[in-house]
A and B are shown apart, each in its own frame.
Chain A
Amino acid sequence: MIQYAGIALFVFGIYGLFVNRNVIKIIVSINVMEIGLNIFIISIGYVTGSSLAPIVSSTEDLGLVYVDPLPQALVLTAIVIGVGTTAIALVVAKMIHSQYHTFDLDEIEESV
Chain B
Amino acid sequence: MNTILLIVIPLLAAFIALVAKKGAPYLLLGAGLFNIVLLFFLDTGFTFIGGFDQAMTSDLLGIALYLDTYAKIALWLVNTLIVVIALLNFKAYKQYGSVLLLSMAGLNGLLLTNDLFNFFVFLEIASIAAYLITVSNRKFTDTFHYIVMGILGGSLFLFGVTILYAMTGSLNMIVIASELETNGQYQDVILPFIFIFIGLGVEVKLLPFNSWVKGVLASSNTFSGPMIASVYAAAMSFAMGRLLTNLLVFEGALLTVVMTLLIIGVVAGDLMAFSTSKTREILLFSSIAQASLIALLFVQGIVIWAVYLIIVNALSKLVMFLVINKATHAIGSDEIKRMKGLFVNNKFVGLMFTLATLSIMGLPLFAGFVIKLNFLTSLASLGQTMVLIIILGASLVESIYFVRLLVRLWYPGEETLDMKYSNPFKFVFAAVALILLVLGTYTTPLYELDDNIDQVSEEVIHG
User: Interface residues, chain A, CB within 8 Å of chain B?
Assistant: 10, 14, 17, 23, 26, 30, 33-34, 37, 40-41, 44, 70-71, 74, 77-78, 81, 84-85, 88-89, 92-93, 95-96, 99, 105, 108
Contacts and interface: CB of A to CB of B under 8 A. Distances in A.
**Which of A33, A44, A81, A96 has the most CB atoms of chain B within a 10 A radius of its CB?**
A81
B151 A96 contact: no
B425 interface: no
Given A10-B159, A71-B162, A74-B162, 19 more contacts: A17-B152, A26-B148, A30-B148, A30-B151, A44-B165, A71-B165, A77-B117, A81-B124, A84-B128, A85-B124, A85-B147, A88-B131, A89-B147, A92-B131, A92-B140, A95-B140, A96-B140, A96-B144, A105-B141
Contacts, number: 67
B406 interface: no
B162 A41 contact: yes
A33 B159 CA distance: 11
Contacts of B128: 84-85, 88
Contacts of B152: 14, 17, 30, 33
Contacts of B165: 44, 70-71
B120 to A, nearest CB: 8
Contacts of A81: 121, 124, 154
Contacts of A99: 140
B141 A17 contact: no
Interface in B114-173: 117, 121, 124, 128, 131-132, 135, 140-141, 143-144, 147-148, 150-152, 154-155, 158-159, 162, 165-166, 171
A70 B144 CA distance: 33
B147 A88 contact: yes
B155 A34 contact: yes
B55 to A, nearest CB: 19
Contacts of B154: 81, 85
Contact of A93 (B144, B151, B159): B144
Interface of B: 117, 121, 124, 128, 131-132, 135, 140-141, 143-144, 147-148, 150-152, 154-155, 158-159, 162, 165-166, 171
Chain A contact residues: helix, strand, loop or mixed: helix
A93 B414 CA distance: 43
A41 B158 CA distance: 9
Contacts of B143: 92
Contact of A89 (B117, B124, B132, B148): B148
Given A40-B159, A81-B121, A17 B140 contact: no
Contacts of A89: 144, 147-148, 151
23 contacts: A17-B152, A26-B148, A30-B151, A37-B155, A37-B159, A37-B162, A40-B162, A41-B158, A44-B165, A44-B166, A74-B117, A77-B121, A81-B121, A81-B124, A81-B154, A84-B128, A85-B128, A85-B147, A89-B147, A92-B135, A92-B143, A95-B140, A96-B144
Contacts of B151: 30, 34, 85, 89
A6 to B, nearest CB: 10
Q: Rank and list the top 5 A-B pairs by shortest CB-CB distance, nearest first.
A: A44-B166, A96-B140, A95-B140, A92-B144, A41-B162
Contacts of A84: 124, 128
B192 to A, nearest CB: 12
